[in-house]
Amino acid sequence: MTSLYDEVQAAPGAGVPTRRVTIKVNGDDRTVDVEPRLLLAHLLRQGLKLTGTHTGCDTSNCGACTILFDGRPIKSCTMLAVQADGHSLETVEGLASASELHPIQEGFKEEHGLHCGFCTPGMMLAAKALLDKNDNPTEDEVRWALSGNLCRCTGYQNIVKSVLWAAEKMRAESN
Amino acid sequence: MYPSRFGYELPKTVEEAVALLDAHGGEAKVLAGGQSLVPMMRLRFAAPEMLIDINGIEALHYNRVDADGTVHIGALCRHEELEDNPAIAKAIPTIAAAAPLVADPIVRTRGTFVGSVCHADPQGDWAATMTALGGHIVAQGPKGKRDIPIADFVIGPFQNTLAFNEIAIEAVIPAPKGVRVGNYLKLERRVGDFATASVAVSLDMKGDTVAYAGIALAGVGGRTINANAAASALVGKKLTAENIASVAAAVAAVAEPRTDHRGSADYKRQIVKTFVERILTGLLNTSQKAA
Amino acid sequence: MALDEIKIGGLGASRRRVEDNRFIRGKGNYVDDIVLPGMLHMELLRSPVAHARIKSIDVSKAYDIPGVRLVLTGEMMAARNLAWMPTLSYDTQAVLATDKVRFQGQEVAAVIADDPYIAKDACQAIVVEYEQLPVIVNPFQAMESGSEVIRDDKENQPGNKIFDWEIGDKAATDKAFAEADVISKMELHYPRSHPSPMETCGSIADFNRATGKLTVYMTSQAPHIVRAAVAMVAELPEHMIRIVSPDLGGGFGNKVPIYPGYVISILASILTEVPVKWIEDKTGNLISTGFGRDVYLQGEMALRKDGKMLGMRMKTISDHGAFYADAQPSKFKIGLMHSAFACYDVPAAHLESVGYYTNKAPGGVAYRCSFRVTEAMFFQERMVHAAANDLGMDQAEFRRMNLVKDDMFPYRTAFGFLTDSGQYGKCLDIGMKAIGYDNYKAEQAEARSRGKLLGIGISTMTEPLGAGNSREYDILGIKMFDSAELRVHMTGKAILRTGAMNQGQGHQTTWAQIVAHELGIPADDVTVEEGDTDTAPFGMGTYASRSTPVAGAAVAMVARKIRAKARKIAAHLLEVSEEDIEWELGRFYVRSNKERGVTIQDCALAAYSNMPDGMEPGLENNAYYDPPNLTWPFAAYFVKVEVDAETGVWDVLKVVAVDDCGVRINPMVVEGQIMGGLTEAYAMASMQYQTYDDEGNCIGSNYMDYLLPTAWETPGFELHEVVTPCPHHPIGAKGVGECATVAGPAAFVNAVVDALGHLGVRNIDMPMMPNRVYEALTTGKDISGMPPVKMGD
């Protein structure tokens, strides 16, 4: 069980009501007590120690916190942790299996789709949501699907190539 | 940024949600998609004492087209469910055109159509679209349901006419008087930007004659601009270059833009005029091609 | 057999990046990912107003909130002599306001609590009483006589002027103008822009009372400078301070300065004796940390009627905000603005620069540019565009005529820089061909006949990257050299540390490639570490495209020292004299018998197991590199646009970039840098800017107002390369990280202005938002200055 910020031993404001929620995160059920105002991104990062999900802005613009919520991409800074009760989440930590990378991860490395790496987890999950629906997107479709995620370093061109690289590999694997 | 403290309830039925709203006497807010509310709470521009999260009311998660063409959009219908939706695209082309232009693709998976109408942002896409379509909102309160025509629902910037203990459970767009055509154009500086100007146009066509014409605007006034009166000049007529030009000018005259860093009032009027012309001319060309 | 350099990941290999392995798994280690036992969280209360006297601060209600541990105010900082701190430009900056607030967003109080939510609650509970003062939001208001003095804390500061500085030969320039056939003028404003890395600033200060050691994990592009500054400001012994920059989520200059939040978190940790984490929110980052630009540029060019440039006069009026906190070499008050026109053969030039305080955020950092060269090159290329039009000459031909020719190097510019290499004409040719310049005039005329407005913009420039040399370049007196330390283990694997600080450039990957090139040790066998001042050698950090020119050179030089020692070991192992030894990649051999040789790995083992008599064991060394000159990359950018005459919306049809940054260590990484820079150029040209209303409210305080382009708007890029090695850099490399941000914006503006040129439009200031372009094309008039923010009918 995890309090709001579990590195703080003295639970903040004893007496503050919390709710117990059970969330499937990357396939594992996690049960935690959370204060209603805790943002889902913060639960992932602090409570569940999944720091691959980043928060880059306060206004739901940047998409660095993008995760999959029941398979669809959402901005986890714009959802409350309590709202994830009973739902299934996938974060960047769930992309690779123990032995191999997801083709999207390989694509980002192969096509130099990242510089500082801060937007990368959100980009990759937005890309996964696209490829799950459309295994052969055009460049424009990739650009459109990623237009809720900001990157400051790459200029996007290599991110687009990374996603197309992954799509090709995924198609080859499924054949 | 971190929201202030609030209480949280997760009702399973509309009745339960209404009872909770009623019990909290105006201090509670409904949480649907949360894509406007949560950022405002993070910036502490909004600090409700209680959130009634209606996402647990699965019965509100739908959109459907009746046999007569009436469209119902439930309170939990997400923006993205109106994109790439053949039934919606056929029934209401304006919604199909506007859906991909709402916010950004990630926000669209979560944000809701009805929530956006309720938010009544003068720059909001759906309040304008509903206005052009002449739809209504179904509100449910302790005493039951009532229909609120969109013109009486969105009454000002961020103002709707729901009572504190009412929930907007559905948006309804009436059946067309003929074949419904339409489009939506938005000038934004980048994906997810607020509109500099947006134009929603919906026409019902009987043959090549206009049976209904609705036009509404976003981003060009302190509220959603209802230009249906100007649009109605087309009713009973065929679309021509001349009446397109005169309606475009009339619609631009109805806009109430203000000069700001997105442009001067005159510029925004110019965009409205251009977009009305482009949409109507596009519809004229399509119908001529079809014929 | 010599090794295949590409196969071992040496120079020229598009080696896939080592750092990606952690980032793509979500295993990066950014400041906010670090959790220390017992850590508290800090939030800042910022001023809502731009200029006001603080009458009182009441923190009592903040302490009523459970979980609040400490509330700091300016008064408490002042009691410890920490209310003010030095800036990187010999000014002072308030850490927490004591007397007045001088810009919206200035730090007023700090709350340290069990979690950041509670800290934010407590910030809201602090009551501050302000007495509002007149607000100054631009340098023209600042210079008016009788205007409010912003820096009344300073002695000898009667008005708001910070500096009045000049460079160049005024008499020679006056003479050139007297002799000119044509004088062309240009006036523009380069709007305030924020680097806005995706990750904001933040720190975790951890003061250990038992050992006396202070460790600070923080978002710094220059951790060693921070250590020195903390030693001086906090009066802590330097060896008891450890600054660690972990992974940085972008920097672009924003993470060079030292911000109040860092300093406050340090004091908070000293007072609470537990670690204190401060993570800035996006609004805090945008409204209080280092911005770029905000300069009014005026100038004129003296021309002979055949097109020859004779002289150049420039004046800049710059807005530095409330504190002169620019990051730049000490002796240059407006950075390297005088690098303008360095690629052109201009015999005479003069620059006058005046800087002012305003009630705006301090900063003036080099946002992805080598100390104001972005403004310099933007002005240069807008001026060149206008001058060509005034002469009735073609854009490309006017440039070709005046660009410094290949046989003129080394070339001394009118402002005194020494450019040393380049093939400017060749770059121009490649770009013209790629953009289709030959057909373009006909195409443009044809399009205009259909009501379509086509334009091509060109921007060519060389910029000074890689400060120092130490003779001329220092920050607060510390000379701008850099360093590398290389330790080769006995199995031939190695660890390299430098004084630079990666923030996305890929140093872990590319530094190892230099080692591979120099020693033949495969890049995969070289670990690279940076950013921890306890282990890395002293360096000035990463900004201004200086890593490859300076630290990269140090890497090559330390590897050469290692090779020199290994050669002695090789001679010992091969039982010949050192003079009889030859080197090929990865291997020493006997000159008379190439078959007889030892590998670098053999030498490494021998350094620990079989060294020659009298030789110090081990195989490690360090190098401090003081570059003899700046490096001078060249760029030629071409942008083709189409403007919608009914809306002012402009679409980018094509972007061609030709870059000559000398030898490319890793072409993939270089291209990545160029594309990133072009995107920021597009951003500034089209949408990205900050402005202030009359009350000093920042417009652009979050990503709803401060617009960064997405993948959808951002155009595609076509890249070309020319390689003219740098004559003084050990591996012939030049800086590149910022070329596209620097030269890119003018290409976009020139393209739109070109599309509208026949309508009489000479200038549209950035951002070229559709409404501004529409106004220009309907009125035929120039659009100057910031977009208005005053609401009106």
Q: Nearest Cβ partner of A59 from B3, B6, B39?
A: B39
C64 and C210 part of one domain: yes
The one-character DSSP state at C193 is: B
Give A-chain residues touching B191 at CB under 8 angstroms. 147-148
A88 and A25 part of one domain: yes
Judge whether A80 and A39 are in contact, CB under 8 Å: yes
Give A-chain residues touching C717 at CB under 8 angstroms. 155, 157
Is C369 in the active site?
yes
**Residues in a beta bridge with C584:** C587
Mean model confidence pLDDT for chain C: 96
Are A79 and B38 in contact (CB < 8 Å)? yes
pLDDT at B5: 96
Give C786's pLDDT tier (boundaries 50, 70, 90): low
Quick check: C672 contacting A, CB < 8 Å? yes
Is C680 in the active site?
no
Angle at C225 between CA C222 and CA C231, to 5 degrees: 140
Let me know if residue A8 belongs to a domain. no
Judge whether C745 and C374 are in contact, CB under 8 Å: yes
C272 and C400 part of one domain: no
Give A-chain residues touching C198 at CB under 8 angstroms. 54, 56, 62, 64, 116, 118-119, 150-152
Which of 20-49 (B) contact A at CB < 8 A?
31, 34-35, 38-39, 42-43
A79 and A112 part of one domain: no
C434 and C567 part of one domain: no
pLDDT of residue C789 exceeding 70, the answer is no
pLDDT at A11: 44
> Cα separation of C346 and C176, whole Å?
10
Let me know if residue A3 belongs to a domain. no
pLDDT of residue C788 exceeding 70, the answer is no
pLDDT at C654: 98
Q: Give the closest-approach CA distance of A74 to chain C in angstroms.
A: 17
Name C537's Cβ contacts closer than 8 Å, sequence gap at least 6: C483, C484, C485, C497, C498, C499, C622, C624
CB count within 10 Å of CB B241 equals 11
pTM of the model: 0.97
Whole-number Cα distances in Å, B103 to B79, B194, C25, C261, C715:
9, 8, 29, 33, 20
| Residue A68 tokens, joined | 């999959």
Are B106 and A66 in contact (CB < 8 Å)? yes
Q: C511-557 pLDDT, tens per residue? A: 999 999 999 999 999 999 999 999 999 999 999 899 999 999 999 99
Judge whether C752 and C651 are in contact, CB under 8 Å: no
Yes or no: domain B58-173 corresponds to CATH 3.20.20.70: no
Q: Report the number of distinct structural domains present in chain A.
A: 2
pLDDT at A13: 57
Give C-chain residues touching A96 at CB under 8 angstroms. 25
Neighbours of chain B (3+ CB pairs under 8 A): A, C
Q: What is the DSSP string of C575-586?
A: TS-GGGEEEETT
Let me know if residue C645 belongs to a domain. yes
Let me know if residue A2 belongs to a domain. no
* CATH code of residue C717: 3.30.365.10
pLDDT at A8: 33
Q: C345-356 pLDDT, tens per residue? A: 999 999 999 999
> Cα separation of A19 and C770, whole Å?
49
Would you tell me which CATH number, out of the four given (1.20.1250.20, 3.30.70.100, 3.40.220.10, 3.30.390.50), belongs to the domain B179-290?
A: 3.30.390.50
pLDDT of residue A3 exceeding 80, the answer is no
Give C468's pLDDT tier (boundaries 50, 70, 90): confident
Q: Give the closest-approach CA distance of B193 to chain C in angstroms.
A: 7
Domain that holds residue A53: 19-94
User: Mean pLDDT across the stretch C438-465?
Assistant: 93
Let me know if residue A7 belongs to a domain. no
A32 and A90 part of one domain: yes
C652 and C596 part of one domain: no
Q: Say which amino acid occupies C100.
A: K
Q: Which of B189, B213, B186, B193 is nearest to B202 (CA)?
A: B213
Torsion sign across C-alpha atoms B26, B27, B33, B34: positive
Q: Which residues of chain B have pLDDT under 70?
A: 291
User: Mean pLDDT across the stretch C123-148?
Assistant: 96
A83 and A113 part of one domain: no
Options C46, C368, C497, C664, the catalytic residue: C368
Options C221, C513, C601, C673, the catalytic residue: C221
Is C587 in the active site?
no
Among C15, C198, C286, C701, pick the best mutation site for testing chain A contact (most A Cβ within 10 A): C198
A31 and A85 part of one domain: yes
pLDDT of residue A2 exceeding 80, the answer is no
pLDDT at A12: 47
pLDDT of residue C793 exceeding 90, the answer is no
pLDDT of residue A9 exceeding 60, the answer is no
- Report how far Cα C729 is from the mean position of its chain's Cα atoms: 21
CB count within 10 Å of CB C131 equals 10
Query: Which fold would CATH assign to domain B7-56?
Result: 3.30.43
The complex's ipTM? 0.97
Quick check: B59 contacting C, CB < 8 Å? no
C455 and C495 part of one domain: no
Q: Which long-range contacts (CB under 8 A, 24 or more apart) does A15-21 make?
A: A16/B5, A17/B7, A19/A82, A19/A85, A19/B8, A21/A81, A21/A82, A21/A84, A21/A85, A21/A86
C515 and C388 part of one domain: no
Axis crossing angle, helix A157-174 with helix A120-133, rounded to the nearest 10: 40
Classify burial at C1, counting beta carbons within 10 Å of its beta carbon; exposed 0-12, middle 13-18, buried 19 or more: exposed
Give C-chain residues touching B262 at CB under 8 angstroms. 769, 771
User: Mean pLDDT across the stretch A59-82?
Assistant: 97
C515 and C644 part of one domain: no
Tell me if domain B7-56 and domain B58-173 are identical in fold: no
> Cα separation of C248 and C252, whole Å?
11
Q: Nearest Cβ partner of C282 from A35, A58, A116?
A: A58
C101 and C45 part of one domain: yes
pLDDT at C325: 95
| Boundary of a domain, candidates A68, A94, A120 | A94
* CATH code of residue C94: 3.90.1170.50
Give C-chain residues touching B265 at CB under 8 angstroms. 792-793
> Cα separation of B50 and B28, whole Å?
4
> Per residue in A103-123, is it b (16+ CB within 10 Å) or e — as a string?
bbbbbbbbbbbbbbbbbbbbb
C106 and C204 part of one domain: yes
Let me know if residue C116 belongs to a domain. yes
* CATH code of residue A45: 3.10.20.30
Tell me if the bond preceding C633 is cis, omega within 30° of 0.
no
Among C17, C24, C121, C286, pick the best mutation site for testing chain A contact (most A Cβ within 10 A): C24
User: Mean pLDDT across the stretch C430-450?
Assistant: 93
In chain C, % of residues over pLDDT 70? 99
Q: C475-503 pLDDT, tens per residue? A: 888 899 999 999 999 999 999 999 999 99
Let me know if residue C406 belongs to a domain. yes
In chain A, % of residues over pLDDT 70? 92
Alpha helices in C280-349 (DSSP H): 282-288
Domain that holds residue C672: 371-466+629-779
pLDDT of residue C790 exceeding 60, the answer is no
Give C385's pLDDT tier (boundaries 50, 70, 90): very high
pLDDT of residue C42 exceeding 90, the answer is yes
Q: B125-172 pLDDT, tens per residue? A: 999 999 999 999 999 999 999 999 999 999 989 999 999 999 999 999
C568 and C677 part of one domain: no
Give C-chain residues touching A157 at CB under 8 angstroms. 675, 714, 716-717
User: Pairing state of beta strands B154-156 and B159-160?
Assistant: antiparallel
Q: Give the closest-approach CA distance of C703 to chain A in angstroms.
A: 6
* CATH code of residue A141: 1.10.150.120
Is C472 in the active site?
no
- What residue segments make up the domains of chain B, in order of their start? 7-56, 58-173, 179-290
Are B8 and A59 in contact (CB < 8 Å)? no
pLDDT at A1: 35
User: Mean pLDDT across the stretch C439-449?
Assistant: 91
Q: Report the number of distinct structural domains present in chain C.
A: 3
Let me know if residue C436 belongs to a domain. yes
Let me know if residue A1 belongs to a domain. no
C606 and C503 part of one domain: yes
> Cα separation of C328 and C334, whole Å?
8
Let me know if residue C705 belongs to a domain. yes
C645 and C769 part of one domain: yes
> 3-state SS string over C490-553?
CCCCEEEEECCCCCCCCHHHHHHHHHHHHHCCCHHHEEEECCECCCCCCCCCCCCCCHHHHHHH
Element (H, E) at C231: helix C223-233
Q: C284-302 pLDDT, tens per residue? A: 999 999 999 999 999 999 9
Name B124's Cβ contacts closer than 8 Å, sequence gap at least 6: B116, B117, B218, B224
Nearest 10 degrees: Cα torsion C397, C400, C403, C406: -170
Let me know if residue A175 belongs to a domain. no
Options C738, C739, C762, C772, the catalytic residue: C738
> Cα separation of A38 and B8, whole Å?
11
Question: Rg for chain A (alpha carbons), in Å?
Answer: 17
